Amino acid sequence: MISAPKYRLLIVDDSAISRGILEKVFSGSEFFDVVASVSNGRKAVDFCKENVVDVVVSDYDMPELNGVEATKILSGEMGIPVAIYYEDCSCRTAAIEAGAILFEKKPQFASYSSNSFSFFVTDLKNALEKNDIHPKHASSNPDGEDSSLGEKHRFDFKVLCIGASTGGPKAVEDVLTGLGRNFPLPILYVQHIDVGADKKMVDWFNSVCPNTPMHLATDGDIPKPGHVYMAPAEKHLLIDFVKSDGRPMLKISDEPPERFLRPAVNKTFRSAAHHYREQCLAVLLTGMGRDGAEGCKEIVDNGGYTIVEDRTTCAVFGMPAAAIELDAAKSVLPRNKIPEHILMLVNG
């Protein structure tokens, strides 16, 4: 049975004792999952830029960036709900104007007991529900079940696209190895990589993943099923057209970098979405930044299917988190669950 997703909660307080107590309070709730705790508003903003957070619980009085100033950024600019607790209620108006969904009197940490903070958990849950705020991530679970599928669907995928950056080679190795031999789709792979390192990486992959032969993509290639075609350094990997048997003809492009990146995952994903629509399957793995998120969105909007790596196995959660924020992730799974999910989708 798949349990309801929990709100991913970030705690912000300059007191380590307060953070520890609040972590214990919210971690014991069936509604919240404490993803981290930080010591001031600036660190909260930085954390939320790289990680998926559904709600922030913050002290008001902190160094560098106080609770109200942080809320202006977190709520006003990033759309993340914030609950502020206080000792001096004079900041109430400023907190509400900044966008806080809850303004709570600071608990008496000195008189902590196991049930003395239940009101705080209940009030926050009620405030989230009142504002129609729901967990925005698709949670993975220990059994690797995918709540986004619901009833069994039939898919007719013709291509698998993979994008990765920081930590990508190891992540891609794990995924490709898990696909076994005779994978039925051609695989297009974009990795942020330095000039001169692409050929060496292809050679390395062929030594560790012989089940899925890898090639450095060239202009005019017609990919074979079960083979991987990696974008060359400083070139975009696009699809020129699709043959009658469903295989693409590849185009290697010198188009300008996208957000300073060439190759860019977004370029390949968009190209695949345009040519394959609902027959496109894509996987976005570990990486810094936001590349691939908009491409995932385009794939989903065209009826395709996207899988992104869960934060628990990412070296850097930036790229997958950005896709989740755009509601562009059909499934969010830890790396070890991704290959079997691909095989289930492809083989039915």
Catalytic residues: 165, 192, 291
Q: If you write DSSP's letter for every residue of 81-128 in order, what string do you get?
A: -EEEEES-GGGHHHHHHHT-SEEEEPP-GGG--TTTTHHHHHHHHHHH
Cα 237 from chain centre: 22
Quick one: which H or E segment has residue 309? strand 305-309
| Strand partners for 305 | 281
Q: Is the peptide bond before 263 cis (omega within 30 degrees of 0)?
A: yes
- Could you identify the residue written with the tokens 């300073």? 260
Gap between the Cα atoms of 319 and 181, Å rounded: 28
C-alpha atoms less than 13 angstroms from C-alpha of 17 in its C-beta half-sphere: 6
Task: With beta carbons less than 8 A apart as the criterion, state whether 285 and 173 touch.
Answer: no
DSSP codes joined into one string, 227-270: -EEEPPTT-EEEEEEE-TTSPEEEEEE-PPPBTTBSS-HHHHHH
